[in-house]
Amino acid sequence: MLRFQVSSLTFSLLLISAGSSVIYGECSRDYFTSNTAYQLNVDLLYTSLIESSSIYNFKIFEIPATGFSQNDVVFGLFQCQGDLSFSRCRDCVARSVSQLKINCPVSIGGTIQLEGCFVKYDNISFVGLEDKMEAFRSCGPSIGHNSDILINRDDALAYVISGIDGHYFRAAVSGSVQAVAQCEEDLTLSECEDCLLEGRARLTSECKTSSRGAVYVGKCYIRYAHQGILKGRYYNRNSKREREFERDIAGGSLRDTNGDREKERDARRQ
């Protein structure tokens, strides 16, 4: 996989303002030929993703289900942050699809994570498979050893991991700290908790005294922010991040994460 990502991440009131800025993405280094059945199915998937996001928060696709060679089947899914309205979910998924079309135009598989939604497609099924490989991490400036804030952070993170009854999207506020977490809904709840525990371990290890932090692994994310740091930080980030995304693709400055993910794809093909 070729990988692209944004170098920093700032949250604006995590519980209510998930946006559509690019956080990270990957394009497969395997390519399909234009004007083939596989391209037709990818195009059909893109249309289905956008249309379905008007009425669903999460949906899995296998296109086509019958009638084509297995080599032409494309698997895909989208998931929006759990507190987004359907209209905002659709806008986010539509932006994701637009970015994939621009930056992964003939890639057999692609993944993109925006602040408010996640889209993935591939010619190998990934549905129901656990994936704890880190995709993105960001830590904000240090607040020093402010014990009250750090205790609030730990409490909020603990709650979004284990304090919810059967939900894949989880949000919490503890004192001045907000936290959100979400798993892909093709995981079991037990697998979801395992994924979030892995994310929290990485988050607290790498962002020890940070005012905000985020870790995205293959099937889940967990993030937090100290409200006082975020107050008043509303600005339009979409165009800047999309320019960075497109610049990295065009300039060949993407970091090659071929190793583990390519090995995983090969193993799944066997």
Q: What is the pLDDT of residues 236-248, one digit of tens each?
A: 233 344 444 344 4
Pairing verdict, β 169-174 and 110-114:
unpaired
Q: Which two tokens stand for residue 236?
A: 């339009």
- Residues, the chain: 270
Look at residue 14 and tell me whether its pLDDT is greater than 60: no
Does residue 138 have a pLDDT over 80? yes
Task: Give pLDDT, residue 255.
Answer: 31
Poorest-confidence range of 115-124, 127-136, 210-219, 258-267? 258-267
Where do we find the tokens 């032409």?
A: 72
- Listed in sequence order, the DSSP H helices in the chain are 37-52, 86-103, 147-162, 189-206, 227-230, 238-251, 258-269
pLDDT of 198 reads 95
Among 240, 229, 195, 231, CA closest to 215: 195
User: Is the pLDDT higher at 68 or at 207?
Assistant: 207
* Residue 106: how many other CB atoms lie within 10 Å: 15
Residue 21 confidence (pLDDT): 84
Q: Considering the chain, what is the average pLDDT of its residues? A: 80
Tokens, residue 28: 């497969």
Least confident of 34-43, 143-152, 220-229, 257-266: 257-266
Output 8 or 115, whichever has higher pLDDT: 115
Domains present along the chain, CATH in parentheses = 2-127+236-260 (3.30.430.20), 134-230 (3.30.430.20)
The percentage of residues in the chain with a pLDDT greater than 70, rounded to a whole number, is 74
Report the half-sphere exposure of 98 (CA within 13 A, side-chain side).
Answer: 11
pLDDT value at position 145? 86
Residue 230: the pLDDT is: 33
- Give the residue-averaged pLDDT of 180-200: 94
pLDDT of residue 238: 38
Report residue 98's pLDDT band, with 50, 70 and 90 as the boundaries.
Answer: very high
Return the pLDDT at 122: 96
Sign of CA dihedral 62, 68, 73, 76: negative
* Paired sense of beta strands 134-139 and 110-114, if any: unpaired
Tell me what pLDDT residue 166 has: 75
pLDDT mean over 88-103? 96
Q: Which residue has the higher pLDDT, 225 or 7?
A: 225
pLDDT given at position 15:
36
**Integer angstrom CA distances of residue 245 from 18, 173, 237:** 19, 32, 12
25-84 confidence digits (pLDDT tens): 999 999 999 999 999 999 999 999 999 999 999 999 999 866 668 889 999 999 999 999
> What confidence score (pLDDT) does residue 155 get?
95
User: Which pLDDT does position 163 carry in this prediction?
Assistant: 59
